[in-house]
Amino acid sequence: MTEQAPIKVDMEKIVSLCRRRGFIFPSSEIYGGLSSCWDYGPLGVELKRNIKDAWWRTVVQERDDIVGLDASIMMHPQTWAASGHLEGFVDPLVECKSCHLRWRSDDLAGGSCPTCGGEVTEPRLFNLMFKTFMGPIEEEASVVYLRPETAQGIFVNFQNVVNTTRKRLPFGIAQIGKAFRNEITTGNFIFRSREFEQMEIEFFVKPGTDQEWFNYWIEERLNWYVKLGIKRENLQLRQHMKRELAHYALECSDIDYLFPMGWAELEGIANRGDFDLVQHTKYSGKGLDYFDEQTKEHFIPYIIEPSAGVDRSALAFLCDAYDEEPAEDEIRVLLHLHPSLAPIKVAVLPLSRREKLVALAKQIYADLRRQWMVNYDDAQSIGRRYRRQDEIGTPFCVTIDFQSLEDEQATIRERDTMNQIRLPIVELKKTLQAKLDGEDLFVLPPGGKIWKVEREEG
Ligand code: ATP
């Protein structure tokens, strides 16, 4: 990836690109949309999948101290009594219209926001959880909630995982899934919606080692975003003040990203202490303590929770990757997405629609598709086709020209530098794999050569 100076990108440009190229559409758009709900289109679904895969690979696949889980969205209603959500979210809530902090109205002395002095909304008894009924009878006894966080599914399965995996402390459980919050205010595109996806780790540790693990996870998670291409200067850590802490948290730090509307939370890392397991023990009557075979002690583990949003990550990756550069007499819009996040890895572009060329290009396309998401595009000039791929972040284009029919070679063109190499078609797959894994374009395979850097006609 090339170094670029950070550019301040307008949200409208991101929204427009997402709409135009099929990343993200308003939900049920033909009916006028549904407030703060979004549909991920053909490219958006790939981006989202790649983000989730990258997270899962880092926190589950490549570690031996975290296992995965996929708990159901609807849970026993007692879960929410134990977690504090049922009780905690029925306060008369007001929200500051400018900084969006929420307050209990009876805590406000002067009727304005204690942090920024802004105007607040009218107080209302509000529970953020969506409520529905299970089964055919709509009565109090059959009320269930859509989970407002994935975390509780992990806590209630703590003993199941300990018993079936024989994991020993410290260890974690990771989960990706939908969460629902009837947010008072929504907005800023996919930043705050009422249906969203979370990627959460609950990491169980021995009390006394929690501070160390809290610091460890802050570092780990920050590095994850940087490794996937987010500029470090666009990330910052923000430690919560005591009065800001959620009811369960001993300590919390947010990883904030410099979104177009300003710094805002991308991920929260909390030290939840023993709150959750103590509460679920109390409400379920089941012992959720842990037996340490070495010290022969029983205790309730402390929990460190890195909690990230898939949608907010997608927005941050898109904003950070967005770039515009002058090219000839137009602006080249491109997404410098990390190759592992790019929705399409390679585009196969035959120089013309002549039969022989198309046959060869289609054969290459079919072969590469077995490994990656690949586009085939033969419409309009080669320059236009390159621009289309740049705009959706495709790292490499493979061009098949007339000479390819004779010398069985093709050209690889790199998105960020527009540099090109020419190489034998038999080396294509292996070479693309190496380049997608980060190898320099100019490390040439046998028979490969640096190709002329052509003017890319628009
Ligand atoms: P905020 O203060 O922005 O409302 P939060 O502190 O309530 O967020 P957490 O409960 O810590 O959020 O949730 C963990 C993560 O889940 C957040 O960092 C964010 O990435 C994501 N998330 C939470 N609420 C939403 C939402 N309404 N829309 C999209 N993502 C969300």
The SS3 assignment for 64 reads coil
Angle between helices 11-21 and 382-392 (to 10 degrees): 120
State the Cα torsion 16-17-19-25 to the nearest 10°: -100
Instruction: Kindly state the percentage of the chain with pLDDT values over 70.
Output: 95
What is the percent of the chain where pLDDT is above 90?
Answer: 81
> Which residues neighbour 51 within 8 Å (Cβ) at sequence distance 6 or greater?
310, 313, 314, 317, 341
The neighbouring-strand residues paired with 303 are 204, 273
Q: What is the pTM of this model?
A: 0.91
Judged against a pLDDT cut of 80, whether residue 106 lies above it is answered with no
DSSP of 222-281: HHHHHHTT--GGGEEEEEPPGGGS-TT-SEEEEEEEEETTEEEEEEEEEEEETHHHHHHH
Q: With 90 as the cut, is the pLDDT of residue 102 above it?
A: no
pLDDT value of residue 2: 39
Buried b / exposed e across 104-122, counting CB within 10 Å, b at 16+? eeeeeeeeebeeeeeebee
Closest listed residue to residue 371, CA positions, set 447, 436, 418: 436
- Report the nearest-CA residue for atom 29 of ligand 1: 192
How far apart, in whole angstroms, are the C-alpha atoms of residue 288 and residue 404?
Answer: 66
Per-residue pLDDT reduced to its tens digit, 61-73: 999 999 999 999 9
pLDDT for res 107: 63
pLDDT at 349 over 80: yes
430 CA → ligand 1 middle, Å: 40
The answer to whether residues 361 and 369 touch, using CB atoms and an 8 Å cutoff, is no
Distances 434 to 386, 399, 412, 441, 449 between C-alpha atoms, Å: 21, 18, 13, 9, 16
Indicate the pLDDT class of residue 246, thresholds 50, 70 and 90.
confident
pLDDT, position 97: 86
Among 102-106, 283-287, 340-344, 388-392, which is the least confidently predicted range? 102-106
Q: Compute, in angstroms, the gap from residue 11 CA to the centroid of ligand 1.
A: 19
The pLDDT, as a whole number, for residue 117 is: 87
Residue nearest to atom 22 of ligand 1 (CA): 309
Hey, what are 236's tokens? Answer: 């910052």
- Ligand 1: residues whose CB is within 6 Å? 149, 181, 183, 192-193, 196, 198, 265-268, 307-309, 311-312
How far apart CA 24 and CA 39 sit, in angstroms, is 6
Give the model's confidence band at 60: pLDDT under 50 very low, under 70 low, under 90 confident, else very high: very high
The overall average pLDDT reported for the chain is 92
pLDDT tier at 4, thresholds 50, 70, 90:
very low
Given ligand 1 and candidates 265, 311, 313, which is best to mutate, with the most ligand atoms within 8 Å of its CB? 265
Averaged pLDDT for residues 108-115? 80
Distance 89 CA to ligand 1 centre (A): 15
| CA of 183, closest atom in ligand 1 | 27
Q: What is the pLDDT of residue 164?
A: 96
Task: Tell me the mean pLDDT in the region 135-153.
Answer: 92
Model confidence pLDDT, tens digit, residues 317-326: 999 999 999 8
The letter for the amino acid at 455 is: R
DSSP per-residue codes, 389-415: HHHHT--EEEEE-HHHHHH-EEEEEET
